[in-house]
Structure 1
């Protein structure tokens, strides 16, 4: 079995199309979507139409939860853009997405960690910034989840870790945004360092799960221009460079 894992599309339709084309070239038995689908500065509604038609196994992330909160006055600029752009049918589709999903018995889809869509699985944020999580930290976050493969998103960073008992945790990186800053629980930056769209393919073999990380070119300068026209120079810079 070969799974193509996509996450953190953030309404970047051009990046999504490039990734889907690359997945077709590499082949996959199933494509999964790990949440944070629409919020941003680009094309929430068009991205929703594309994904709703494809019907991939999909979970919602923290941004879906925030968009669905309904309190526009308290939303970030990215969530507000999604909230005003999505129509009633698209909002209902998003509302019906699960927060976690199990496929093929041995594979669990989560956004952050199994119990929290805001906690990073493979990274740890401290007062000094963000660093890769230790083995013990990841083991604790995984707990006793009975799944040989746990797919997570949220951090936009491509990373994997094998646990002591053989379980594999994989973050495929972000399709649509290669850098962002946040202040939860402390101020920090997440930066891939290049503008390429990212995803991962995970294949079941006789010895377990193997992961391949992919990065894909697309028209990121055009996407940055759209973000700038929508009043988001922060997004424009991240889309062009992969840095905040």
Structure 2
């Protein structure tokens, strides 16, 4: 079996188109793509992204930012959702409402956005009191995987490509972000998450006789056009991250 995992598109339609084209070039069908959520929020092209995603019918789980778009009142939304909301049709929002918290793909992969039972906590990474993003302790990673029977566990949320093998041989994979390579956050303390490159990220998972292989693919696209769009929309942090994959 061979399939692709995407995550954290965040309204970047140009990056999504490039990733979908690259997936097709690898010989992977649309029916063999899973989407780990956070599809539309951000200052880019939320409506255009939804117009691409909804007809594809990908197995998609709900991210925390997907949830915010349908749970928060329009006047109470954070800036990422406020930027996107006005571009979305009632049909787009109805699609978000259909997304499950988690799912299983073909009995081999458990899918969630962040971690089981919580769409807002980093699974493979943690933030130190000094604001550094580092690999989470093995015991916590494994504790949150209890009860999951599938050999593959897929999550997103941190926007960083990463894989962690559990003691029992299961593999947790974060494919990185299609459309937002760098951001900052103040929870639990202020920190930056930076991929270090503006390339669009996704992963290919392939079953082999000795276990699952993971190929992280970083795809070039016209990222500066998206950076300039973020700048015109008065989101300088987004503009910096899209330009370089860094915030400085």
Q: TM-score range by the shorter chain?
A: over 0.9
Of 35, 38, 55, the match for 2:37: 35
Describe how 1:4-19 pairs up with structure 2 within 5 A. Answer: 4-19=4-19
1:141 aligns with 2:140: no
1:82, distance to aligned residue in structure 2 (A): 1.7
Computed over aligned residues only, the root mean square deviation of the Cα atoms, in angstroms, reads 1.0
SS of residue matched to 2:60: coil
1:18, distance to aligned residue in structure 2 (A): 0.6
Of 180, 200, 206, the match for 1:203: 206
- Cross-structure match for 1:116: 118
- Cross-structure match for 1:243: 246
* 1-structure distance, mates of 2:150, 2:46: 32
* 2-structure distance, mates of 1:147, 1:185: 30
- Cross-structure match for 1:190: 193
* 1-structure distance, mates of 2:48, 2:224: 19
* 2-structure distance, mates of 1:206, 1:41: 44
Deviations 1:140-184 (A, max 9, x none): 121221111011000000000110001100000000010000111
1:115, distance to aligned residue in structure 2 (A): 1.2
Deviations 1:11-51 (A, max 9, x none): 00000011111111112250111000000111001110101
Describe how 1:126-137 pairs up with structure 2 within 5 A. Answer: 126-129=128-131, 130-137=133-140
1:75 aligns with 2:77: yes
1:72, distance to aligned residue in structure 2 (A): 2.5
* 2-structure distance, mates of 1:186, 1:122: 17
Which range moves more in the overlay, 104-113 or 22-31?
22-31
SS of residue matched to 1:215: strand
* 2-structure distance, mates of 1:163, 1:12: 33
Describe how 1:82-101 pairs up with structure 2 within 5 A. Answer: 82-101=84-103
* 2-structure distance, mates of 1:54, 1:69: 24
Describe how 1:223-234 pairs up with structure 2 within 5 A. Answer: 223-234=226-237
SS of residue matched to 2:23: helix
Equivalent pairs, count: 244
- Cross-structure match for 2:67: 65
Which range moves more in the overlay, 17-26 or 162-171?
17-26
Describe how 1:137-176 pairs up with structure 2 within 5 A. Answer: 137-176=140-179
* 1-structure distance, mates of 2:78, 2:44: 15
For structure 2, which runs of at least 5 residues remain unmatched after alignment?
none
1:134, distance to aligned residue in structure 2 (A): 2.4
1:25 aligns with 2:25: yes
SS of residue matched to 1:203: strand
* 2-structure distance, mates of 1:27, 1:208: 21
1:224, distance to aligned residue in structure 2 (A): 0.7
